[in-house]
Amino acid sequence: KQEVTQIPAALSVPEGENLVLNCSFTDSAIYNLQWFRQDPGKGLTSLLLIQSSQREQTSGRLNASLDKSSGRSTLYIAASQPGDSATYLCAVSGSYQLTFGKGTKLSVIP
Protein backbone atom coordinates (compact mmCIF):
# COMPACT_ATOMS: atom_id res chain seq x y z
CA LYS A 1 0.00 0.00 0.00
CA GLN A 2 1.36 3.39 -0.99
CA GLU A 3 2.16 5.79 1.83
CA VAL A 4 3.00 9.44 1.33
CA THR A 5 4.75 11.48 4.00
CA GLN A 6 5.29 15.21 4.02
CA ILE A 7 7.85 16.91 6.19
CA PRO A 8 7.63 19.29 7.93
CA ALA A 9 3.97 19.38 8.94
CA ALA A 10 4.22 23.12 9.45
CA LEU A 11 6.73 25.76 8.49
CA SER A 12 6.99 29.45 9.25
CA VAL A 13 9.44 31.65 7.37
CA PRO A 14 10.05 35.39 6.98
CA GLU A 15 9.09 36.97 3.68
CA GLY A 16 11.73 36.72 0.99
CA GLU A 17 13.26 33.46 2.11
CA ASN A 18 13.67 30.48 -0.16
CA LEU A 19 12.23 27.25 1.21
CA VAL A 20 11.91 23.55 0.47
CA LEU A 21 9.00 21.25 1.19
CA ASN A 22 9.57 17.51 1.21
CA CYS A 23 7.44 14.60 0.09
CA SER A 24 8.36 10.93 0.28
CA PHE A 25 6.51 7.87 -0.91
CA THR A 26 7.00 4.17 -0.25
CA ASP A 27 6.13 2.59 -3.62
CA SER A 28 8.20 3.87 -6.51
CA ALA A 29 5.82 2.39 -9.11
CA ILE A 30 4.04 5.65 -9.75
CA TYR A 31 2.66 7.29 -12.87
CA ASN A 32 3.13 10.85 -11.72
CA LEU A 33 3.42 13.12 -8.71
CA GLN A 34 1.53 16.33 -8.17
CA TRP A 35 1.92 19.29 -5.88
CA PHE A 36 -1.14 21.22 -4.82
CA ARG A 37 -1.93 24.29 -2.83
CA GLN A 38 -4.90 24.40 -0.50
CA ASP A 39 -6.29 27.55 1.05
CA PRO A 40 -8.64 27.29 4.06
CA GLY A 41 -12.13 26.26 3.00
CA LYS A 42 -11.13 26.10 -0.67
CA GLY A 43 -10.52 23.32 -3.15
CA LEU A 44 -7.09 22.24 -4.28
CA THR A 45 -5.15 24.28 -6.79
CA SER A 46 -2.79 22.27 -8.93
CA LEU A 47 0.73 23.71 -8.91
CA LEU A 48 2.97 21.24 -10.70
CA LEU A 49 2.64 17.81 -12.24
CA ILE A 50 5.73 15.63 -12.74
CA GLN A 51 5.40 12.52 -14.86
CA SER A 52 7.31 9.46 -13.69
CA SER A 53 9.78 9.86 -16.56
CA GLN A 54 10.59 13.46 -15.62
CA ARG A 55 12.94 14.76 -12.96
CA GLU A 56 11.64 18.26 -12.44
CA GLN A 57 9.09 20.86 -13.38
CA THR A 58 9.16 24.60 -12.98
CA SER A 59 6.46 27.23 -12.84
CA GLY A 60 7.40 30.77 -11.90
CA ARG A 61 8.94 30.76 -8.44
CA LEU A 62 8.14 27.08 -7.95
CA ASN A 63 10.37 24.16 -8.82
CA ALA A 64 9.48 20.57 -8.10
CA SER A 65 11.87 17.66 -8.39
CA LEU A 66 11.24 13.95 -8.48
CA ASP A 67 13.60 11.11 -7.62
CA LYS A 68 11.43 8.09 -8.22
CA SER A 69 14.02 5.52 -7.28
CA SER A 70 14.46 6.97 -3.82
CA GLY A 71 10.80 7.84 -3.42
CA ARG A 72 11.31 11.55 -2.89
CA SER A 73 10.07 14.84 -4.24
CA THR A 74 10.78 18.38 -3.20
CA LEU A 75 8.95 21.61 -3.85
CA TYR A 76 11.22 24.63 -3.87
CA ILE A 77 9.66 28.05 -3.43
CA ALA A 78 11.88 30.99 -4.19
CA ALA A 79 11.54 34.44 -2.65
CA SER A 80 8.53 33.54 -0.54
CA GLN A 81 5.65 35.99 -0.20
CA PRO A 82 2.84 36.29 2.36
CA GLY A 83 0.45 35.21 -0.39
CA ASP A 84 2.23 31.87 -0.49
CA SER A 85 0.79 31.04 2.93
CA ALA A 86 -1.31 27.92 2.50
CA THR A 87 -1.18 24.17 2.95
CA TYR A 88 0.84 22.35 0.31
CA LEU A 89 -0.05 18.80 -0.56
CA CYS A 90 1.71 16.25 -2.68
CA ALA A 91 -0.06 13.29 -4.24
CA VAL A 92 1.21 10.28 -6.16
CA SER A 93 -0.75 8.44 -8.83
CA GLY A 94 -0.44 4.70 -9.03
CA SER A 95 -2.57 2.04 -10.57
CA TYR A 96 -6.19 3.05 -9.88
CA GLN A 97 -5.02 5.00 -6.90
CA LEU A 98 -4.22 8.54 -5.87
CA THR A 99 -2.50 8.90 -2.52
CA PHE A 100 -2.12 12.19 -0.74
CA GLY A 101 0.29 13.30 1.92
CA LYS A 102 -1.08 15.14 4.93
CA GLY A 103 0.38 18.40 3.78
CA THR A 104 2.75 21.10 4.99
CA LYS A 105 1.17 24.23 6.38
CA LEU A 106 3.29 27.17 5.29
CA SER A 107 3.15 30.58 6.90
CA VAL A 108 5.14 33.40 5.36
CA ILE A 109 5.58 36.25 7.80
CA PRO A 110 5.64 39.80 6.35
Partner 1 sequence: GAVVSQHPSRVICKSGTSVKIECRSLDFQATTMFWYRQFPKKSLMLMATSNEGSKATYEQGVEKDKFLINHASLTLSTLTVTSAHPEDSSFYICSAPRGDAEAFFGQGTRLTVV
Q: How big is the chain, counted in residues?
A: 110
Size of the site for partner 1 (CB under 8 A): 22
Options 11, 13, 19, 49; binder of partner 1; rule CB under 8 A: 49
Binding-site member from 6, 24, 34, 104 for partner 1 (CB under 8 A)? 34
> Is 76 an interacting residue with respect to partner 1 (CB under 8 A)?
no
User: Which secondary structure element, helix H or strand E, spans residue 23, and what is its range?
Assistant: strand 19-25
Whichever of 17 and 30 has its CB closer to partner 1, that residue is 30
Select from 10-18, 20-28, 72-80, 97-105 the region that touches partner 1 (CB under 8 A).
Answer: 97-105
User: How many C-beta neighbours within 10 Å does residue 18 have?
Assistant: 11
Contact 52, 30 (CB under 8 A): yes
Question: What's the one-letter identity of residue 64?
Answer: A
Contacts of residue 9, Cβ cutoff 8 Å, sequence gap at least 6: 102, 103, 104, 105
**Interface with partner 1 (CB under 8 A):** 31-32, 34, 36, 38, 40-41, 43-46, 49, 51, 87, 91, 93, 96-98, 100, 102-103
